[in-house]
Amino acid sequence: MSAKRSSSKKSNKDVKSRIIDGLIDAYWKEMETVQSYVAASHNLDGVDAEPIKKALAGDVMEEVGHAQQLANRIRVLGGVVPGSMSFKPSQKNLQPPKDSTDVVAIIKGVIEAENDGIDGYMKLIRLCDGVDYGTQDLCIALMTDEENHRREFEGFLKQYKKR
């Protein structure tokens, strides 16, 4: 019986560690999204860019809020919220395009970033199932927000493709 408990504790510790790692990954994705959205909301030019710039600027604070919620959950689980020296960027498609009027490139980059975030939250939701309902609930809520952002930008893409 003692060996079972020891094995169970080790297994739970491993899952908790993987959950914290997943939360840290999600935290960095949210932080990088903030940087990319700020850049895009200022760098895009042209009349067609205005609704996209406004949508991105409006989403910045929501993404910061996501990062803060993730940071809080990391600490609740006993993890350490990493500092800037641990950051490794990955959102290549959200970098400022050479043509500052290329609104479609930014829209596609946003959709890709939202898809990546949704995938990450789905993995965390599955990992937390039956183990950590607090983190699972948080990830479900954040994933829902990302799905709403994606839908908004899919609508923009439809409109811009018609032109």
> What pLDDT score does 49 carry?
95
Q: Largest Cα–Cα distance of the chain, in whole Å?
A: 70
Asked if the structure places residue 138 within a domain, the reply is yes
Tell me: pLDDT of 1 over 70.
no
Please compute the mean of the pLDDT values over residues 132-156 and round it to a whole number: 97
Here the CATH number for the domain that contains residue 66 is: 1.20.1260.10
- Enter the pTM of the model: 0.91
Is 86 among the domain residues? no
Give the pLDDT confidence score for residue 6 in this predicted structure: 47
Asked whether residue 47 is domain-assigned, the answer is: yes
Q: Indicate the residue type of 18.
A: R
Q: pLDDT band for position 99 (50/70/90)?
A: very high
Render pLDDT for 18-31 as a digit per residue (tens, 0 to 9): 999 999 999 999 99
112 is in which domain, residue-wise? Answer: 2-79+95-162
Give the per-residue pLDDT at 9.
Answer: 56
Q: How far is CA 63 from CA 54, 117, 142, 159, in A?
A: 15, 11, 9, 24
Whether 70 shows a pLDDT value over 60: the answer reads yes
Is 26 among the domain residues?
Answer: yes
Q: Between vectors from CA 155 to CA 154 and to CA 156, what angle results, nearest 5°?
A: 90
pLDDT for 13 equals 82
Q: How many domains does the chain have?
A: 1
pLDDT of residue 7: 47
Cα gap 39→57, rounded to integer Å: 9
Residue 63 lies in a domain: yes
Q: Is residue 67 part of a domain?
A: yes
CB atoms < 10 A from the CB of 31, how many? 20
Determine the Cα–Cα distance for residues 127 and 21; give it in Å rounded to an integer.
Answer: 11
- Please return the burial class of 109, using the count of CB atoms within 10 Å of its CB with bins 0-12, 13-18 and 19+: buried
Residue 89 pLDDT > 90: yes
- Would 90 be classed as within a structural domain? no
Residue 153 within any structural domain of the chain: yes
Output the pLDDT for position 34: 96
